[in-house]
Amino acid sequence: MSYGRYGRPALKNSVDVQLQTAFTDSNWNTVIRLADKRFKTLKDPYYEAIRIAAESQLDGTTERCTALIAIDELVKSKAVPDYDTLELLEWAARDYLYDTEYAETLGPLRARWVKANPKSKFSVKCLQSCLEYWDLVSAQQIATTLDKAFANSGDRQYMFWSITLTYLLSVSPQCSEASKKVYSLLVVKQLERAADITENAEKVESKDRGLLQEEEISLYYRVMLSHGSKEDFISRMQSPKLGPLAQLKEGRKDLFYQALNAYESWGEWDRIYDLCRQALRLGLDGVTPTFSVCDYKVWKKFALAASKSKDQETALGEVQSILKEFIALKTNTAMYKKNIALALLDTAFRQPEVPGSSGNDSGVTPRVIQIGLYLDSYFDKLSAFDDVKDFVAELSFEEVKGLMEEVLPKMLEEKSDKSSQVILKSLICKLRYLLTTCTQTLSHNASVVDGQEQDKPYQCRLCSTLTSLPCESCLRSVVTEAAQIYQQIVDDSELLAAIPRLDKDPRIDLALVMGNSILKLSGLRPRTSDVAPAPLRDVNPSLFLQAVLVLDTQLKVTPSDVALRLLLAQLYLLLGCASYAYQIWTPLEVKRTIQDSLSPLFFDRISSLSPGLFTGTRPLMEPLRSYYNNSLHSSCPLRIWDAFSSGSYSSILEMTEFDSKLRRSCTLMMSIVEERRATRAFGGKIECEIGDLALTENIDDTTTLLNKTDYGSFVNLESPHGPPIQEFLRIGPELSNERAHLSFLSEQYLDLIHHKPPKDHRPYKPSEAALKERAYTFETLSQLNNSLTSFIHRPTTPAALTSPEATYYTIISLLSAAVLTALSTTRADPYPSETMSVITSSIRTAFTGLRTRFTSSSSSSSSSSTNSTNGVDETFYSLTDMHTLSHVRETALAMRHSAAFVQAWNDRELARDRSGKSTLHKDGLAELKALDAMAAKTITEVKGHIQKLKEQLGGGGWLDKMLDWTFGGAAAEGTTEGEGEGEKTAKVRKAVEDVVGGREGAEEWVGKVVESWGQGVKGWGLVRME
């Protein structure tokens, strides 16, 4: 009998045609009748199973459960079931059998059957079935039975299935802690025994029970690393047959890396040194191909290990000697040459003494010379900056000067062709930007003078000006220089013609340097605490807009540049232009498998920024939803049977781990929550409570949800001393376990208070049903309150939330407590006034704080007053902080709906129990009504605010207004800035104007920005406020 997972099994050949036909035609009533008749005549229980399977296909609830009941009876009977009966029943129960039930019913039945028929060809099918339901306990039992049955047959597969499943069980939650220990010991012993057979045999044959294939040895390494002791592992790695070096000779590089990584995690540097040295020698001697050993990782670990050696000088000498031998090899490809060049650089930085810091006046130390040599060879490669960035950041100040004032200018002089010159110049610009993020370029000045705190507590050692962090003078110089080189390229047709032949268009790098520098000058900083103001509140809007304009202009020239597109999508989200950000995001084609790691870059918090995006023709989250549904539809890791049947044991472990992580993805939770919030915003129907979704069924408070956002494609010009670029660009902190849990719990709370029983629901015993509902509601509220409180008070939580989010989740937590208290206090009970007062006053205080943050901008925006410092009116801040408005609305509605929920509860109690004894205490009702009134007032303000924004955007004069905001109008110029500052700002503005083509060049861009703001506000106009 063979069928796909849910394919209908074929009946036994012995079954008559009439019954076969009825079964094939899904003529279930006929099947039931005929099967029953045959059973009575033939007394063959198989016909009874056919009858049950057919009955399970009928619509009635009782009939549908027949297969489950039959399976239960089989489990209890202890008899060995018939295989075909099992197949039929498993198929019949397919829609009602949850994985846990399978592990208690069909799984053990399958295991029982295999034990009785170990050599049957169907045994493997039984194993496959157990794996499909991820019933590891039964699967391991079956694999062990198969291993024993075929121990002498030479079929190694069963032995390794058994070992692999024992290992999986030893790390699975399906196994008790005590059993985990037993299985851990067992799997180690099994593999040690297999390893010993290999060690002691002259030659391992495929019939032996030793380790032979790479996948088998990989399993041995992994299990020993996971469950064995460090000493055992190290001792076993010395094996001349199974040790990493022996395996490397066989071309098994993965095993070599496993050992190397293990040694590194234990700080076994002498072993790393020896292993790398011997491996590289194998490459030199031609024993193993160079691609097996010539990775940069090997060189880096080798140099690092040498630097930690007791005899550092000799060890580093050996590294250099081997490097020289590799340099002499003729067979090196460009990539290996580059790896070797980087290894030389790395070795220079591992030398014991830093010559620049030993009183040597010249900064041109061996380290600097090595950077120069590297750049001389690779300056025109796209990755050149990334390759040297960390080394440059490690230089002393004198070395920095040596590099920037001697080595690089000399290199520039030596470049004769124009293309090389501009590429090198743009690389120097990037390095200059990098140095503004390095601490060695600043020296401390007195931070307090005459009792006054100084706003410029550093002196820049490069330009000697007093500065705050980073040096604004240097950043301005970088901008003007980058703009000059940019102009040089644009004005030179020869250079423009050369660009397609280059590794990368240098204009992109220059635009990125300018953009990043101006963003820093604007005051854009990572928002790291929950008290941070709205994203652009502390930013100079003019400079921010200039930065966006420069980058946007470049994107028009080079639309296929991914890094530019990613950066701009983030910046437009910050600017409140979500629809335009979406236009920029869409061509990146983030689809299918890469969504989990890349979608957060656009979709995180999107419902709070621009719910209107969800009103498009295609549901915004559909691709994500279908990705998770397709990838996680079964509790079994996708394609796991392929790995079992192919003997890919390391793949089995990795795929299982990957599957577990995907189920705990923060992106998954984000996609569900964002969609639900948007659905609610437009009054749509939420089909299923969040806790009932298959994708969330295994998530509880103890589950650690994982953020796997991939920032790899961002161009990060920042030094390792400071935060990476993505932290400057987000609305708030990235996805996190804390935020994902809080959003999940809050949605569960909203599900509870929004729950309405179906209209046709008439309980048979209303009082009993009410008691059950009461118990369920109290229990749920209590659990939610505990969980929310616990997550909110974790020390890591404040750094994981924006300020409006922190308030929202705090208030949801407090509301759950308020509602629980109100519901559990009837009019006859003493009123817990103190508790309730603390809860409601906390809600009021938190909500007032959030409301103040919102109304301070909304009241100003209504008057369109110009911000005297920054030259923009408050409309700008309102448009760029819809996130706060969104949370004001969400919080206010949660307060209103909580009050309504309590009131409805009271009304129901009043209707049910005319005595009025079970109605709620009037003080509790009054407290919630007061919260409702407060929230209702705020909702009116939110509506008014949106209406005013709509009117303001509908008004004329936006082109001039935006150009003035960006470049500074006549009124804004020279307002509060001193003469010197104004001049400096003007230099940056002039540089920007040169690159973008002046104010005229920016007009089209202004149109797009204002249009996007308009679309965002229009979307908000459609959002329900009740």
Partner 1 sequence: MANFRQFRPDDLNKFSKCNLDPFTETYELGFYLQYHAKWPSLFQVAEDQHGNIIGYIMGKLESSPDYYKFSEHYLPWHAHITAVTVAPEARRLGIGKMLTEQLEAAADANDAWFVDLFVRSTNHKAIQFYKSMGYSIFRTVKDYYGDHSSDPTKSSEDAYDMRKPMKRDVKKEHIRENGEKFEVDPSDVW
* Binding-site ranges for partner 1 (CB under 8 A): 214-215, 251, 253-254, 257, 289, 291, 295-297, 333-335, 338-339, 342, 381-383, 386-387, 503-504, 560, 562, 588-594, 596-598, 627, 630-631, 638-640, 642-643, 646, 648, 650-652, 654-655, 657-658, 661, 708, 710, 712-713
Cβ proximity to partner 1: between 249 and 708 the closer is 708
User: Whole-angstrom Cα distance, residue 126 to residue 85?
Assistant: 13
CB of 708 to partner 1, least distance (A): 4
User: Whole-angstrom Cα distance, residue 839 to residue 844?
Assistant: 9
CB of 878 to partner 1, least distance (A): 33
Cβ proximity to partner 1: between 655 and 1022 the closer is 655
Which pair of structure tokens corresponds to residue 329? 């090899």
Cβ proximity to partner 1: between 150 and 296 the closer is 296
User: Whole-angstrom Cα distance, residue 375 to residue 364?
Assistant: 15
Cβ proximity to partner 1: between 94 and 639 the closer is 639
Cβ proximity to partner 1: between 92 and 640 the closer is 640
CB of 239 to partner 1, least distance (A): 21
CB of 642 to partner 1, least distance (A): 4
Using CA atoms, how far residue 283 sits from 155, 218, 250, 261, 280, in Å, is 35, 22, 12, 20, 5
User: Whole-angstrom Cα distance, residue 374 to residue 120?
Assistant: 65
Using CA atoms, how far residue 166 sits from 159, 171, 623, 638, 651, in Å, is 11, 9, 37, 20, 16
CB of 300 to partner 1, least distance (A): 8
Cβ proximity to partner 1: between 503 and 1003 the closer is 503
Beta strands in 118-237 (DSSP E): none
Q: Is 263 helix (H, G, I), strand (E, B) or coil?
A: helix
Cβ proximity to partner 1: between 215 and 874 the closer is 215
The phi, psi pair for 1024, rounded to 5°, reads -75, 145
**Tokens 């040599």, located at residue:** 373
Cβ proximity to partner 1: between 319 and 745 the closer is 319
HSE-CB for 781 with a 13 A CA cutoff: 22
Closest CA to 397 of 464, 476, 457: 464
CB of 743 to partner 1, least distance (A): 21
HSE-CB for 595 with a 13 A CA cutoff: 22
Cβ proximity to partner 1: between 370 and 746 the closer is 370
b (16+ CB within 10 A) / e for 505-535: bbbbbbbbbbbbbbbbbbbbbbbeebebebb
User: Whole-angstrom Cα distance, residue 746 to residue 815?
Assistant: 10
User: Whole-angstrom Cα distance, residue 1011 to residue 503?
Assistant: 36
Cβ proximity to partner 1: between 712 and 980 the closer is 712
CB of 601 to partner 1, least distance (A): 9
Identity at 643, one-letter amino acid code: A
CB of 251 to partner 1, least distance (A): 6
The pairing of strands 442-444 and 458-460 is antiparallel
Cβ proximity to partner 1: between 342 and 573 the closer is 342
Q: Dihedral (C-alpha) 844, 845, 850, 853: value to the nearest 10 degrees?
A: 130
Closest CA to 725 of 499, 889, 526: 526
CB of 564 to partner 1, least distance (A): 12
CB of 597 to partner 1, least distance (A): 4
| Contact yes or no for 570/515 (Cβ under 8 A) | no
CB of 402 to partner 1, least distance (A): 24
Helix pair angle (766-792, 803-823), 10° resolution? 150
Closest CA to 963 of 1010, 1016, 1017, 995: 1010
Cβ proximity to partner 1: between 637 and 804 the closer is 637
CB of 430 to partner 1, least distance (A): 14
CB of 140 to partner 1, least distance (A): 20
| Contact yes or no for 377/334 (Cβ under 8 A) | no
Identify the bridge partners of residue 250 per DSSP, sorted by sequence position.
none
The phi, psi pair for 826, rounded to 5°, reads -85, 170
Cβ proximity to partner 1: between 724 and 832 the closer is 724
Give long-range contacts, CB 8 A cutoff, 24+ apart: 52-57.
Answer: 52/88, 52/89, 52/92, 53/88, 53/89, 53/91, 53/92, 54/23, 54/28, 55/28, 56/92, 56/93, 57/26, 57/28, 57/92
Q: Dihedral (C-alpha) 228, 234, 236, 239: value to the nearest 10 degrees?
A: 160
**Tokens 């088998």, located at residue:** 216
The phi, psi pair for 171, rounded to 5°, reads -120, 15
**Tokens 């199974």, located at residue:** 242
Cβ proximity to partner 1: between 260 and 806 the closer is 260
CB of 711 to partner 1, least distance (A): 8
CB of 426 to partner 1, least distance (A): 15
Cβ proximity to partner 1: between 115 and 381 the closer is 381
| Contact yes or no for 23/11 (Cβ under 8 A) | yes
Cβ proximity to partner 1: between 251 and 1007 the closer is 251
CB of 337 to partner 1, least distance (A): 9
Closest CA to 914 of 767, 757, 773, 774: 767
Cβ proximity to partner 1: between 284 and 770 the closer is 284
Residues in the chain: 1026
User: Whole-angstrom Cα distance, residue 136 to residue 102?
Assistant: 11
Closest CA to 741 of 708, 699, 692: 699
CB of 595 to partner 1, least distance (A): 9
CB of 341 to partner 1, least distance (A): 9
Cβ proximity to partner 1: between 651 and 858 the closer is 651
